[in-house]
Structure 1
């Protein structure tokens, strides 16, 4: 491995990368880099190619660039670095516009109704930042743009329980992951912690303190949650010293300030190496392999409303798939079932799960006000993961409606053992998820067991008008798709795809369905571990 990069060198690379991102935005470019690149042709070749710009992909791009490997990164979304007519890059949740939604004409917010009134809005069709991919009885939310899910998530950088992670990923050295790779990932992502004294007095976490009181009254334990949102910026937001973002109903459609998304951390540093180029609005459709071992990708070039402007074929020697659980799985499944990569393992497509996601709301008493201004970045969780019958980690989530609602909202993560799988549908040329409502019922049962106790201890009830009908628990969508190309099954222990050399998966597709907490820190740490071994053995070792 090359020598460790000093903090000053890394800071300089981030500065260069951020400058490249800003220049690309100012000029309306879809190719981003810090050094001149050859003009793209209908058939080109690059030594290494990364598909996607989410957590695993961003880690991989940076470490390849640091190692001196010329690397091309393809992203199907846009670069979110250009201000709209209102002076903002992203829109907020209360007044969504076309920037909110990927190629639809109506928003699809997870909380669909309030007091049975529809909260969604008609918007212009556009390559917006949040997509919902529907698969029958399960929908999956994903981020679209340079930075992937880091653009639209709640920034909760939670380390999973060591014992449970050892169960989930039995083939890895978990102690090494906690000793080396979680700290490395946390430092690169800019993980920080809320000031407990400020938390106790600020208005914007009143909603979290109400939930904490109710949890403690029930005998439950709560814990502060680390974040990649800058808590000092948030404190200054409340003081009126800086523009508001977390306190301005910004989260699922992007944050204009405060959040350390991947375009500001790993991806900026990757661009700053001078060896990495990102191309946006490039959708990888298919993979094939030539007799000499070159992987050839067919790539669709998109415009602002999703129309295909043309196609391009790009060859590479080393191919890294970081398109997320859905994207990476679909690319490999299509390649196997169409005969392009017939030696892929039968395990491709299996081991998928929702991370046990369940959303719910509770109606509080009139004296338990949750606040008209709420931080969109959660900072507290109810930790009942050690409950032997009903293990749950529940984020205390905001409802930033701009007015008092007396509602407590939670995204519960449960230990659901059910797994779905993908099949290839030739008629639509797509991967289709096989997941039933019955498979999600264990998650509802676990969440209900926990929050029934909370309601009994506090004399409260569930809200039944938040999800478009009268259900009290919503598990027909997930923010945390995991699995599909599981580590140690469809790949070896470092993400090398079985059946083919120099083909890798870097993202949440490696994690089998459930990790017990918000998964992006785990995905990042796992990617750091894997690319270190792959670089040493596959790219930097002389043949």
Structure 2
């Protein structure tokens, strides 16, 4: 039998992969993490959205930033890329889902009492990610209170739970979270540019906690390596181990193909990355035992995105951090305010006239013709991120898509799957935008994401599912412990296993579910104590 190089290979370094890397290393395993994106120092992040090479990921075009945008027929997906995955680009928001739509979804409800089962792991994830409650007041927060009043939801508004070190602004201090085992940190300067990548060492990205601690225990992180194949060695079920083949990310002529052998594989490339990889490998014959349900029950968190912009040239609607306030207007709906500080003017290009209901393309064209200077003048982007608030509306409703190929030669694309497809138009989104316009000073106007207006295609940064938990391969891809049906030592620990729309930003959910999954992996040597975990403390 071929020589084994590693105990575990973890594919992806986002919320699911980072948890797996640390907990496996603590249990004494030899761990290598493979990440297709690059490793970023804090100073490498963009200071403006116009710096597309630092912001966007499209390696064949020479762009090696932290965010990929992938269009499909029914949705456009935004995903994080780089060592630290989605934690590099997300808005720091870390919520525990509240709706029974999530915990009691029929897809997984009979496998466990998930609300109680996940509760201790949510607590661990909150501690590891340094969750704290934002404290601050400003025009964006005032606007959210006004909208809540219009919606009759003044009693259902609250400040955001965030993963940010809110210490003395700019002051560097020894690790405040892990009794000195973590890196030095600096207090948030409240520039609001969190979603461009934090250049000030305040955002609690995974490289500041899980990955940092995993590397201290000997885990290796190999950046800019794209996995192109996983296949069993010997036994068809992978019980003899796997060969994992990688190439240099974005390489065309010099692909630097490498193969490593491992006893086990944790696939955690993010919901989109995992689905695309495993679907390709199943179709190719590398992992033919994967369930036929792979690619089913893909969730978008039932999202819509709208914005409001003040006409006043000196208006300032910024928040201290990216997302500060949440409103739950009903049991199934949750929305937040999103701002980009002074660096997000280029994001204005993704928004056009406010539309909703029927004939949205016609509404879009008529609005352009009625106000050509508003929409077509280059000056409209001047100060856009200072004068604008973006609202992300999420719902826990039971919508889903499917990822599949039409034939063996076509690309993987979305199709209508089990149940209703995500709506390209959420009526409440327009209601929120219209309310915001009434309340901003200096007049203003609402906007809709261009893809929603012209293509009836929502945009989501919170794709979930596709390799969901189930009781058998006839209904899903992994079992209750996140073990892939049909294989030994092949785990999936990212958002692709999430069975239902969380209805809130899902980063904490993915982290907690990965913690729960890894808690069932035995330590390598039962007679050797698990590596001591640093005691986490509340951030100052």
- TM-score tier, shorter chain, comes to 0.7 to 0.9
Kept in 2, the 8 Å contact 1:365–1:460? The answer is yes
Q: 1:233 to 1:151 in 2, by over 3 A?
A: farther
CA contact (8 A) 2:144 2:325 kept: no
Change in CA separation of 1:462 and 1:355 when aligned onto 2, cut-off 3 Å: farther
Task: Report the equivalent of 1:483.
Answer: 465
Please give the residue correspondences for 1:45-444 in structure 2 after superposition, counting only pairs within 5 Å.
Answer: 45-81=5-41, 88-103=43-58, 125-161=62-98, 163-168=100-105, 169-170=108-109, 171-195=111-135, 199-200=136-137, 205-220=138-153, 221-232=156-167, 246-247=190-191, 249-274=193-218, 276-292=219-235, 293-302=240-249, 308-362=254-308, 371=316, 373-386=318-331, 391-401=332-342, 403=383, 407-424=388-405, 431-434=412-415, 439-441=421-423, 444=426
Q: What secondary structure is seen at the aligned counterpart in 1 of 2:132?
A: coil
Give the TM-score normalised by structure 1: 0.75
Displacement of 1:234 in angstroms is 5.6
Report Cα offsets for 1:126-169 as digits up to 9, x if no partner.
Answer: 32211112223422111111100000000000110152332244
Q: How many residues align?
A: 457
After superposition, the CA RMSD in angstroms is 3.5
Task: Check 1:469–1:413 CA distance in 2 against 1; reply closer, same or farther (3 A cut).
Answer: closer
- In 2, distance between residues paired with 1:461 and 1:431? 44
TM-score by length of 2: 0.75
Q: 1:515-534 deviations in whole A, cap 9, x for unaligned? A: 11000101100111111112
Match of 1:25 in 2: none
Residues 454-508 of structure 1 show CA distances to partners (whole Å, capped at 9, x for unaligned) of 7789999994556348949985321001001001221110100011111110000
Distance 1:410 1:182, change over 3 A: same
In structure 2, what is the Cα distance between the partners aligned to 1:371 and 1:450?
19
**Contact 2:325–2:337 (8 Å) recurs in 1:** yes
Match of 1:79, SS state, is coil
**Partner Cα distance (2:483, 2:390) in 1:** 40
Q: Distance in 2 between matches of 1:312 and 1:429?
A: 27
**Structure 2 residue runs without a partner (length 5+):** 173-185, 344-382, 471-475, 528-540
The structure-2 alpha-carbon separation of the partners of 1:511 and 1:156, relative to structure 1 and needing over 3 Å to count, comes to: same
Could you tell me how far 1:363 is from its partner in structure 2?
5.3
Secondary structure, in 3 states, of the residue corresponding to 1:492?
coil
Q: Secondary structure at the match of 2:391?
A: strand
Gaps of 5+ in 1: 1-41, 106-123
Does the Cα contact within 8 Å between 1:485 and 1:509 map onto a contact in 2? Answer: yes
Q: Structure 1 CA distance, aligned partners of 2:452 and 2:278?
A: 39
Looking at structure 1, the residues matched to 170 and 404 of structure 2 have their Cα atoms a distance apart, in angstroms, of: 47
**Secondary structure, counterpart of 2:40 in structure 1:** coil
8 Å Cα contact 1:359/1:474 also seen in 2: no
